[in-house]
Structure 1
Amino acid sequence: MIEEKKNIVSLEDRIPKLKQARKRRANIRLIFYLTILFFLVAIVVYLQSPLSHVRDVSIVGNTHVSDQKLIDMSHVTKEDNFWKVDKDAVAELVNVHPEIAAASVDRKLPGTIEINVDEYERVGYVKVDGSYYPILENGERLDSYQLKSPSGDAPLLIDFNKPTYLEGMSKELQQLPGSIASMISEIYWEPTDENPYQIRLYMTDGYEVLGTIRNFSEKILAYPSIVSQLGPDDRGIIHIDVGAYFEAYPGTEAPEDEANEEESTDEGQG
């Protein structure tokens, strides 16, 4: 009986412990609420301070369009709040540029706005009134981008005075492997009654190619193979319009009788 009384804790003994536990929980809640309050105040102060401003605007993926041009078009400045920059709106502003095919915007901590762009490929240049203008892969001519001479990174397109054929040629050039595109120096549009799509190409290695706009990107693939079978002195026209074959310029081949005479002489000496 005495042992059972020892195990029973009196109410007077338990009250101080309950008070301490309640006080401890109240202190924990107070610290928690003060932490949240401090955190919220810090966020408000941060958002209202220069620390939340854009620190830098970075352009990624551009080749021909300058960084500053795209930054100006984005309307993003270092006075803007980093977190309030509308990424979709900025992308739309940049995408207005005729050389930009697509644009996207990302935030990079601590304060960089990164604008990623994809440029239309320049597939050629056209000459108008003594000046040269880039032609994009979508067939559009950049009238606002005037050059005194072509940049050499794409062929010169000559006499393409109808947009339909220029656009078709541009699309075909866009599909070419870089190794073949770099070999094309000039392309002339030479329509005939039989073939309004006829074109004549002058290559950087000295050969001339006669073809057609339609399926040009497929037919020109035979060019390296044909050239590899020609001699160093062979000069002429490589046809890729109907079939693929080489036609020597008149006068560059030895006459048949003269060739036979040389063969007979060689045999007699033998």
Structure 2
Amino acid sequence: MAEKKIVSIEDRIPKLKEARKKKANRRLILYLSLFFLLIAVILYLQSSLSHLQTINIKGNEHVEKEDILSISGVSTEDNFWKVNGETVAKKLEEHEQIQSVKVDKQFPTTISININEVERVGYVQNDGSYYPILANGNSLTSYELKTPTGDAPILVGWNGQKYLEEMTKELKQLPDSITQLISEIHWSPTDQNPYKIHLYMNDGYEVDASIRNFSQKMRSYPSIVSQLDSSQKGIIHIDVGAYFEAYSTDEEKGENENENDG
């Protein structure tokens, strides 16, 4: 039978003391590391290193960058960690020309504000000035323009708010590819038809139509034009049925263009 080796307590004590010492040293190093890390974080948060360095604004076309910054309340003096994206978005979405906002924060010092503006469907002409009409039906009477920006048709002679609102709804439903072909929309009501409108197109044609179902009937415009002789201009009627009426003479065409300019 093998003899058991007996280790005395006196022999084990130095090894136990050394193991305890190593464990205590590791714990001390951990505590010191956490302490200095905490100090570093506090110094970082209190210094300009944690401030915003870059504010990117994207998607805005009509609302000025300076206005967006002012409304958002965000500046390069702000601490990156204290900027609340949802709060910034809510502030900006109160602007009448802004539909939605998405705010992205990119560590360590960048914030991106992505703007989705309410679409402009037209510009109402009044006393030599132009006022934007938004897709939600709002008229921006406080935004007076001497010349329209060309991104939407000009609406001329719209004195009836009811008909203007209906026209706005129709334009909202019209594809952008067709809206961009329209230069001017004149409200030309008659006793028999208060919904009658007359359009001047960028390609030289005129369109006689009605506000009612305008967005549906106007979709056929490209197809109708593609079947016409491009050298022969005139009026395309899409109110009742669809047919083309060529200008009888160049003089008559000139008179129509002069009326448009007036």
Using the alignment, how far apart are the partners of 1:243 and 1:19 within structure 2?
Answer: 103
For 2:112 and 2:234, the matched residues in 1 are separated by 52
With normalisation by structure 2, the TM-score equals: 0.87
SS in 1 for 2:3: helix
Structure 1 CA distance, aligned partners of 2:13 and 2:237? 106
Would you say 1:155 and 2:153 are equivalent positions?
Answer: yes
Deviations 1:109-153 (A, max 9, x none): 221222111011222111112111222211222222222112222
How big is each residue's C-alpha offset from its partner over 1:175-231, in whole Å with a ceiling of 9 and x where there is no partner?
333322121111012233443322211111221112222322221111111112222
Partner Cα separation in structure 1 for residue 139 and residue 61 of structure 2: 17
Gaps of 5+ in 2: 251-262
Which residue number corresponds to residue 118 of structure 1?
116
Aligned sequence identity (%): 59
Q: Does 1:203 align with 2:207?
A: no
Alignment of 1:2-41 (within 5 A): 3-5=2-4, 7-41=5-39
Q: Secondary structure at the match of 2:29?
A: helix
Which residue identity lines up with residue 35 of structure 2 in the other structure? L
- 1:50 Cα deviation from its structure 2 partner: 1.4
Q: Is the 8 A contact 1:102 1:118 kept in 2?
A: yes
Aligned match of 1:265: none
2:190 is equivalent to residue 192 of structure 1 = yes
> 1:42 is matched with which residue?
40
What is the alpha-carbon distance in structure 2 between the residues aligned to residue 202 and residue 236 of structure 1? 10
- Read off the aligned partner of 1:91 and give its amino acid letter: A
Distance 1:15 1:214, change over 3 A: farther
Q: Distance in 1 between matches of 2:72 and 2:192?
A: 50
Give the match for residue 218 of structure 1.
216
Mapped contact 1:100–1:117 kept (Cα < 8 A):
yes
User: Partners in 2 of 1:20 and 1:213 — Cα distance?
Assistant: 94
Q: Please report how far the alpha carbon of residue 30 of structure 1 lies from its aligned counterpart in structure 2 after TM superposition.
A: 1.6
Name 1:65's counterpart in structure 2.
Answer: 63
Q: What displacement does 1:233 show?
A: 4.4
The alignment status of 1:108 with 2:102, answered yes or no, reads no
Shift of the alpha carbon at 1:250? 5.2
Q: Deviations over 1:68-88 (max 9, x none)?
A: 221122121222211112322
Hey, what's the Cα distance between the residues in 1 that align with 2:230 and 2:55?
54
SS in 2 for 1:51: helix
Distance in 2 between residues matched to 1:53 and 1:234, nearest whole Å: 64
Q: Please give the residue correspondences for 1:160-179 in structure 2 after superposition, counting only pairs within 5 Å.
A: 160-179=158-177
Output one character per residue of 1:145-164: Cα deviation in whole Å (capped at 9) or x when no partner: 22211222211101222333
Native 8 Å contact 1:131 1:146 kept in 2: yes
Q: CA deviation at 1:239?
A: 1.7
Q: Is the 8 A contact 1:138 1:167 kept in 2?
A: no
Across the two proteins, how many residue pairs are aligned to each other? 250
Q: Is the 1:222–1:244 contact (alpha carbons within 8 Å) kept by the matching residues of 2? A: no
Q: How far apart are the structure 2 equivalents of 1:59 and 1:209?
A: 40
Q: Structure 1-normalised TM-score?
A: 0.84
Per-residue deviation at 1:174?
2.6
CA RMSD of aligned residues (A): 2.0
1:63 partner SS: coil
Change (3 A) 1:248 1:70: same
The aligned residue for residue 241 of structure 2 is 243
4+ residue runs over 6 A deviation: none
Instruction: State the shift of 1:165 in Å.
Output: 2.3
